[in-house]
Amino acid sequence: MKRLILLIFTSLLLSNEQIPAPPQSQPILLKNGFIHTVSDGTIEGSILFDKGKIIAVGEYLAPPDDAKVIDLNGKHVYPSFISAVSGIGLVEINAVPVTNDHSERGDFNPNVRANVAYNPDSEIIPTTRSNGVLIANVIPGSGLVSGQSSIMMMDGWTWEDATLNHPSGLHINWPQMGIRTSGWYSNVPESRQKERMKKALEKLDEIVLKSRAYSKLRNAKSQKSTDYHNVDLRWESMEPYVKGNFPIYIHANEVRQIEAAVNWSLRHQLKIIIVGGKDAWRTTNLLRINKIPVIYESVTSLPSRRFEDYDQAYKGPKLLHDAGVTFCIASSGSAGGAYRVRNLPNHAAMAAAYGLPPDEALKSITLSAAQIIGIGDVAGSLEKGKDATLFISDGDPLEIRTNILEAYIQGRKIDMGDKHKSLYSKYQQKYRQLGILKED
């Protein structure tokens, strides 16, 4: 009972004050601005959307009679940034366990759904929206097979309202492939580490074989009945993935992990996406030939090895682009890094500063991300028929000084307030009272 009271109290304490937006009630025309479509360059003109969908993009658009017309006066319109992997909505404060709901016990939890644990009142969501990230692929994060991710919109009264698409894929944390000698591993013999690694890889093979056997059994005529006592939700959840209907996200950074994961997917004829991919620049031929996309995480991280260049992580996206590998950029896919999602445009900007063409940097967190996670038909670019999930800025959003002025999710105008802005206003008043900051 005490734990339940603590959970309720913490939830109320940490809930954000923003009210979810109502559905779009009239057509909206944004005119006299720079419309960055991503898919078809930049148009100096207008964009019209109604009932949550983009109706038209062009230089000169005539508004419908009942439309609300907004003069941009040279401001910029961009499609939503998309976090291809994220723990947002599942984590509030890392050090407070009752605010975290990203993991389940055990190594095999394919039936876990991220969206049902998503907290639409998270205080992290408004600060993330303020940097242009309006869509996130929210992922579970424990064990060998973590569960299924869900693509969530950064607005909604409930998790059902916020869910854009489910499932987006199954998540597997690939076992370590090398012998580690530092930290806790210094006390573990090499032979024991090798045995543990071998068992983990064998378990992955066994999971695929058992999943297919279960699927075959369930689809047999003798099993087609209303008897649910023989249904195992874990094996039931594996069926669309072993059939190749949805992708499997393999979390792997080290080159041996990536190579082993690709070979595993080819052997079992599975559709996979590499998440992390810090060493993906060393396996570009393998990834390109087999058409395996990479969600490249943590552009601003340190080099993995002493012999690597200091900027190896920074220029990783450029190397993938030059090699023809399909990729997008994510800030951090770990559940504990939920608060880092707001830094997504900064990661893309760093990649651009280290050689990735600016247009590709923007694409890496919009259209490329949407296509990789399976929502390219509704998000990622400003095109007729796609969702009106976009934002207005006063400049290039990959520049840190740019401000996001307004945002729309499926045509709904979003409250752009957040905790950071509240504190900014509060301490402005403090320094005005002290006479340090003058009135405007």
List CB contacts of 141: < 8 A, sequence separation 6 or more.
87, 90, 102, 103, 171, 334, 335, 336
Please report whether residue 229 resides in a domain: yes
Name beta bridge partners: 392: 77, 406
Q: State pLDDT tens for residues 138-173.
A: 999 888 999 999 999 999 999 999 999 999 999 999
Closest to 133 (Cα-Cα) out of 115, 147, 151, 116: 151
**Of the residues 325, 353, 376, the one at which a domain ends:** 376
Whether residues 384 and 369 fall in one domain: no
Whether residues 181 and 105 fall in one domain: yes
Averaged over 409-414, what is the pLDDT? 97
Averaged over 21-48, what is the pLDDT? 96
Is the pLDDT assigned to residue 402 strictly greater than 60? yes
Is the pLDDT assigned to residue 180 strictly greater than 90? no
Question: Over pLDDT 90: what percentage of the chain?
Answer: 72
Whether residues 397 and 336 fall in one domain: no
| Predicted local distance difference test score (pLDDT) of residue 365 | 98
CA-to-CA distance for 366 and 146, rounded, in angstroms? 26
Distances (CA, A) of 367 to 164, 331, 403: 16, 16, 21
Whether residues 47 and 91 fall in one domain: no
Q: State pLDDT tens for residues 348-390.
A: 999 999 999 999 999 999 999 999 999 999 999 999 999 999 9
List CB contacts of 288: < 8 A, sequence separation 6 or more.
323, 324, 325
Neighbours of 212 (CB within 10 A): 16
Q: How confident is the model at residue 290 (pLDDT cuts 50, 70, 90)?
A: very high
Task: State the CATH number of the domain containing residue 274.
Answer: 3.20.20.140
Distances (CA, A) of 248 to 168, 261, 347, 368: 9, 11, 24, 17
| Predicted local distance difference test score (pLDDT) of residue 238 | 95
Most confident residue range from 174-188, 325-339, 341-355: 341-355
Lowest-confidence range among 44-53, 79-88, 345-354, 430-439?
A: 430-439
| Predicted local distance difference test score (pLDDT) of residue 336 | 57
| Reduced 3-state DSSP string for the chain | CHHHHHHHHHHHHHCCCCCCCCCCCCCEEEEEEEEECCCCCEEEEEEEEECCEEEEEECCCCCCCCCEEEECCCCEEEECEEEEEECECCECCCCCHHHECCCCCCCECCCCECHHHCCCCCCHHHHHHCCCEEEEEECCCCCCEEEEEEEEECCCCCHHHHEEEEEEEEEEECCCCCCCCCHHHHHCCHHHHHHHHHHHHHHHHHHHHHHHHHHHHHHCHHHCCCCHHHCCHHHHHHHHHHCCCCCEEEEECCHHHHHHHHHHHHHHCCCEEEEECCCHHHCHHHHHHCCCCEEEECCCCCCCCCCCCCCHHHHHHHHHHHHCCCEEEECCCCHHHHHHHHHHHHHHHHHHHCCCCHHHHHHHCCHHHHHHHCCCCCCCCCCCCCECCEEEECCCCCCCCCCEEEEEECCEECCCCCHHHHHHHHHHHHHHHCCCCCCC
Is the pLDDT assigned to residue 396 strictly greater than 50? yes
**Of the residues 347, 376, 405, the one at which a domain ends:** 376
Whether residues 324 and 400 fall in one domain: no
> For the chain, what's the residue count?
440
**Average pLDDT over the chain, rounded to an integer:** 89
| Predicted local distance difference test score (pLDDT) of residue 197 | 77
CA-to-CA distance for 165 and 373, rounded, in angstroms? 10
Q: How many domains does the chain have?
A: 2
Is the pLDDT assigned to residue 113 strictly greater than 80? yes
Domain hosting residue 332, numbered range: 81-376
Whether residues 170 and 292 fall in one domain: yes
| Predicted local distance difference test score (pLDDT) of residue 49 | 98
| Predicted local distance difference test score (pLDDT) of residue 403 | 95
Please report whether residue 135 resides in a domain: yes
Token couple for 33? 């601005």
CA-to-CA distance for 369 and 328, rounded, in angstroms? 5
Whether residues 119 and 63 fall in one domain: no
Q: State pLDDT tens for residues 82-112.
A: 999 999 988 877 666 666 666 677 889 999 9
Is-contact 417 17, C-beta < 8 A? yes
**Of the residues 320, 345, 376, the one at which a domain ends:** 376
Is-contact 353 318, C-beta < 8 A? no
| Predicted local distance difference test score (pLDDT) of residue 34 | 98
Is the pLDDT assigned to residue 407 strictly greater than 50? yes
Considering only residues 123 and 2, tell me which one the structure prediction assigns the higher pLDDT: 123
Q: State pLDDT tens for residues 218-245.
A: 877 555 555 556 788 899 999 999 999 9
Whether residues 103 and 227 fall in one domain: yes
| Predicted local distance difference test score (pLDDT) of residue 12 | 44
Averaged over 257-275, what is the pLDDT? 97
Considering only residues 219 and 178, tell me which one the structure prediction assigns the higher pLDDT: 219
Lowest-confidence range among 43-52, 178-187, 274-283?
A: 178-187
| Predicted local distance difference test score (pLDDT) of residue 297 | 93
Q: State pLDDT tens for residues 121-136.
A: 999 999 999 999 999 9
| Predicted local distance difference test score (pLDDT) of residue 94 | 65
Per the confidence metrics, is the pTM higher than 0.85? Answer: yes
| Predicted local distance difference test score (pLDDT) of residue 4 | 40
Please report whether residue 71 resides in a domain: yes
